[in-house]
Amino acid sequence: MKLFGTDGVRGEAGSFLTAELAMRVAMAAGIYFKSNSTTNKILVGKDTRRSGYMIENAIVSGLTAIGYDVIQIGPMPTPAIAFITENMRCDAGIMISASHNSYEDNGIKFFDAQGDKLPKEVEEKIEEIYFKKELIDESQAIGKSIGKAKRIDDVIGRYIVHLKNSFPDELSLSSMRVVLDTANGAAYKVGPTVLEELGAEVIVINNKPDGYNINENCGAIHVSELCKNVVRYRADLGIALDGDADRVVIVDENGEIVDGDQLMGALAQHLHVNRLLKGDGIVTTVMSNQALEDYLKTLKLKLYRSDVGDKNVLEVMKKEGINFGGEQSGHVIMHDYAKTGDGLATALAVLAYLVETNQKASFALRPFSLYPQKLVNIQVKEKKPLETIDGIGEMTQELEKKGMRHLIRYSGTENKLRLLLEGKDQKVMNQYMEKLVDFFKKVLNG
């Protein structure tokens, strides 16, 4: 059984992600972190899912059983866990969340002492330990060596101050009316507090979590209610977070969603003008629209592409000395202030841009037009290695001759092939997508 996916351990709570699995993976992680321990403390936070109680207690049991002291801080955004782990000098941080998934699922994300997500090779080492029963048995503490746990409720203040420090001192949000959708998730307290303390008039929706309504027809995945409320309240901006607030979707004053690539382009330009953009470029994934890359070229900035996943984006950012990047889905990394995608930090950067330039969101956040793009998922019986499929080379060469960017890859978690086509001519692109779909259905499903 494989534990780790693209973003930690995730699955249906009570079936895949049981209390037993959570306790054992916590013990395995604790054994790994103890090899480089400096403080013997691990931080644990969660979002608002009902299953979080079960998983949190199991994780605390597993960590204290091998001698770790645990700090529990309750519901807090994922980026807050990354920040507070480093700020409180912990050996590691653990976030219990399945991000934008519905309440039935839950997950476990790990951060190292610097607040960074674990590289794949470390996850593999933890997974190896998980299956070594003898090692886990030998590592259990006895007597005075057993760890202790304590709950701290006031660390929210540290994160609020940290977020406010990302907002320019000379600016105020007193002129801004904002609608904030917290997705009944982890930012239901911290989100409104930060915006109000910076002076904004805040209309908050979906901020009454009951353990089951996280992401339910709300938040970054379902923004229709936010769009309506922005128009209804004549707001300057709409902000939709997901369940653990590492992702944001922005809505302009007309109730229209701002595309993630256009948003990153606008912020990159603003950072560049203010000489705050390091590395003369930004990092996005292979999914980002070619129009973003072409726009950045006009600013003499470079676009670096990574594999899908904010962890992969951050890896390239570090390699190239870049402090800004993200995914078009809304995971934006402001690396001067966050080690992972941070929806609130990104929203504050957007608001600072609008206030400083005195522009409407509908104009400022769409600095270029997108090229037509189409994504199709095909259910497959088996994941044959793409390089072994006859005819695929000729097919992709034909796409390139027609000036179309393409991305063909298997899903990391499902038996699906994902096809992405992008080109300046919508009609031609649609025709070639039909050809691609027919081709792969025949070779993969007979």
8-state DSSP, 3: -
Q: Quick one: pLDDT band at residue 140, thresholds 50, 70, 90?
A: very high
CA torsion 291→294→299→303, rounded to 10°? Answer: 90
CB neighbour class for 407 (10 Å; exposed up to 12, middle 13-18, buried from 19): middle
List, by residue number, the catalytic residues. 99
Least confident of 60-69, 70-79, 428-437: 428-437
C-alpha to C-alpha distance for 298 and 376, rounded to whole angstroms: 31
pLDDT at 89: 97
Query: What's the whole-model pTM score?
Result: 0.92
Average per-residue pLDDT for the chain: 95
C-alpha to C-alpha distance for 96 and 52, rounded to whole angstroms: 7
Runs of H (alpha helix) within 68-132: 78-87, 120-130
Helix axes 343-357, 190-197, angle to 10 degrees: 20
User: Which residues share a beta bridge with 96?
Assistant: 46, 108
Q: Quick one: pLDDT band at residue 1, thresholds 50, 70, 90?
A: confident
Asked if pLDDT for residue 348 goes beyond 80, the answer is yes
Q: Which residues contact 402 (CB under 8 A, 6 or more apart)?
A: 423, 428, 432
C-alpha to C-alpha distance for 267 and 366, rounded to whole angstroms: 10
**Of all helices (H) and strands (E), which one includes residue 354?**
helix 343-357
C-alpha to C-alpha distance for 13 and 25, rounded to whole angstroms: 14
pLDDT at 413: 65
Using an 8 Å Cβ cutoff, are 256 and 366 in contact? no
- List the structure tokens of 378: 């095909």
Buried b / exposed e along 132-141 (16+ C-beta atoms within 10 A): eeeebeebee
